Structure 1
Amino acid sequence: MRQMGIRAQWVKPHTQTTIHSDFSGKLKNLLDRNFSPDHPNCVWCTDITYIHTRQDGFVYLACIMDLYSRKIISWKLTKTLDTGPILESIKEARKQRPANEPIMIHTDRGVHYTCDLYRKLTRGMVRSYSAKGVPYDNACIESFHSLIKREWLNRFVIQNFRHAYRLVSEYIDGWYNPKRIHSHCGYMPPTEYEVMYPRTSTN
């Protein structure tokens, strides 16, 4: 953290980012807060958070996390909440990390994650949903979005979309994945923890 000049920051008031759309019993919480899968590419979680800019208003960050390592395996920053651009992160994650077995993907019940396009993009995956109004059911990705703001974004007056994109990339690709240690990962960074998996799994 010292290398990037990161220090503790005050937490801004919470902004609601979920537009609830489906409270039916058909959407099951299959993850059931089991946040520690035993291998990579077993469970992903995803969510959207808002980032305020001076010139462009809110921009929207959608991240996908692999729960095994807490690594952000895909992210997408958009100028609108349109479903197509937001869900590009899923396309990218599936392209980068093909799997030999069905991956569980956990989300909230917002419109982006209950629409036809989401079902199409996650075909062959196991879909899991948080209970209505229970953000802790998706605690890991919620925590990450709080972390990126607290440790990094809140240090800046973000001017526009381009500025926000650069800051997000610096944090996720330059700091969080390759360098930021995590207690869940035995105090290793997420990328290193994943690299260690083949060795630790055979011991």
Structure 2
Amino acid sequence: MRMIGLSESTYYDRKKRVAYPLVNTSNTKKGRPYPGYSLTKTGQKVSDEQIKEWLLELAEGEEHVYGYKLLAQCLRNEHELILDKKKSYRLCKELGILHKQREKKNKHPRRLAKNRLVTEPNQLWQIDIKYGYVAGRDRFFFVLSIIDVFDRVIVDYYRGPVCEAKHACQTLWRALEKRIKAGGALPVIRSDNGPQFVSTLFGDTCESLEIVHERIPPRSPNMNAYIESFHSLLERDLFSKMDFMTFDEAYEAVDRYMDFYNNRRMHGSLKRMPPNPFSEWVMQLEDRTIFHKAL
């Protein structure tokens, strides 16, 4: 070793490494965890769930011919979103919309929403997701709400740090148990093209319940106007006025607002009555012609 200029410590150290290589036996992924949001050029935080919804809308529209790189460019152009190709690939992979995976046929083909005449409660429900922000944790939380188009009642809702297809199904089940009597007619469920609503689980649930689930075309939020309007109220009356430090604080505030909205907040299109009292008033009318004259 002296002849070749190699020290004994170096030789034995390398020999030990060959005999006992360092192996990472854990399956945990190293590195910084995903933050769960991206920024716009103005510094606004946009949750990954919102980005996924935008990606799905693009995949359902004429941009379906694009790969993940051009889809990211579309979001940069339309929303001024700072989104690199690596994150676009990851989100597209999670959604299953990479081109190599698009050969799979959807088990539940999309049923497009159509204009409906709503004359009574429980004929048409709209469902959607709103994103809130917990400043103290620098994380988003989710509010999934179901509204009855006729009386504007929030039939049921979910709030949590994640919102998956199973949460949408559980919320729908609770809403049906609250509002639909045994043997009663089931409502039509209308949603956008969010990943929770295009999932196989949500489609299987609606099929097993024999519920018609229709989805609005991409970029047509006006066809889901009632739930969009409610979520704009939630943003204006609550989210924009409070900074939440913990998830529990945010959930308690959402619970209070839901109770206020359903039971005490007057609604201009409901004869200046809150949704629940209005619904009870309508159900007490034996002759529905009186109701329509009253409106």
TM bucket (normalised to shorter chain) is 0.7 to 0.9
**AA aligned opposite 2:60:** F
The answer to whether the Cα contact below 8 Å between 1:54 and 1:157 also exists between their aligned partners in 2 is yes
Q: Which has the higher contact order (CA 8 A, sep 6+)?
A: 1
**3-state SS, counterpart of residue 111 of structure 1:** coil
> How far has the Cα of 1:63 moved from its partner?
0.2
Structure 2 partner of 1:180: 265
Structure 2 partner of 1:107: 191
Aligned residues: 187
Structure 2 partner of 1:143: 229
User: In 2, distance between residues paired with 1:133 and 1:14?
Assistant: 21
**3-state SS, counterpart of residue 76 of structure 1:** strand
Structure 1 partner of 2:130: 49
**3-state SS, counterpart of residue 196 of structure 2:** helix
Larger radius of gyration, structure 1 or 2? 2
Equivalent of residue 205 in structure 2, options 82, 106, 121: 121
**3-state SS, counterpart of residue 245 of structure 2:** coil
**3-state SS, counterpart of residue 130 of structure 2:** strand
Structure 1 partner of 2:155: 73
> How far has the Cα of 1:82 moved from its partner?
2.6
Equivalent of residue 29 in structure 1, options 108, 112, 118: 112
Moved more, 189-198 or 121-130: 121-130
User: In 1, distance between residues paired with 2:129 and 2:178?
Assistant: 20
User: In 1, distance between residues paired with 2:286 and 2:224?
Assistant: 26
**AA aligned opposite 1:104:** V
User: In 2, distance between residues paired with 1:194 and 1:170?
Assistant: 20
Structure 1 partner of 2:143: 61
Cα distance change, pair 53–105 in 1 and its aligned pair in 2 (3 A): same
Equivalent of residue 193 in structure 1, options 255, 274, 278: 278
**3-state SS, counterpart of residue 133 of structure 1:** coil
**3-state SS, counterpart of residue 119 of structure 2:** coil
Moved more, 150-159 or 41-50: 150-159
> How far has the Cα of 1:129 moved from its partner?
1.1
Structure 2 partner of 1:8: none
The structure whose residues are more often helix, as a share, is 2
> How far has the Cα of 1:201 moved from its partner?
5.3
> How far has the Cα of 1:96 moved from its partner?
1.3
The answer to whether the Cα contact below 8 Å between 1:31 and 1:106 also exists between their aligned partners in 2 is no
Q: Deviations over 1:20-63 (max 9, x none)?
A: 26738x4233343x4x6111111100000110002340001000
Q: Identity of paired residues, percent? A: 22
TM-score for the superposition, normalised by structure 1: 0.83
C-alpha root-mean-square deviation of aligned residues, in Å? 2.2
Structure 1 partner of 2:102: none
**3-state SS, counterpart of residue 113 of structure 1:** coil
**3-state SS, counterpart of residue 60 of structure 2:** coil
User: In 2, distance between residues paired with 1:199 and 1:15?
Assistant: 45
Unpaired runs of at least 5, structure 2: 1-43, 62-108, 291-295
The answer to whether the Cα contact below 8 Å between 2:180 and 2:186 also exists between their aligned partners in 1 is no
User: In 1, distance between residues paired with 2:174 and 2:114?
Assistant: 22
> How far has the Cα of 1:85 moved from its partner?
2.5
Structure 2 partner of 1:170: 256
**3-state SS, counterpart of residue 159 of structure 2:** strand
**3-state SS, counterpart of residue 50 of structure 1:** strand
The answer to whether the Cα contact below 8 Å between 1:60 and 1:78 also exists between their aligned partners in 2 is yes
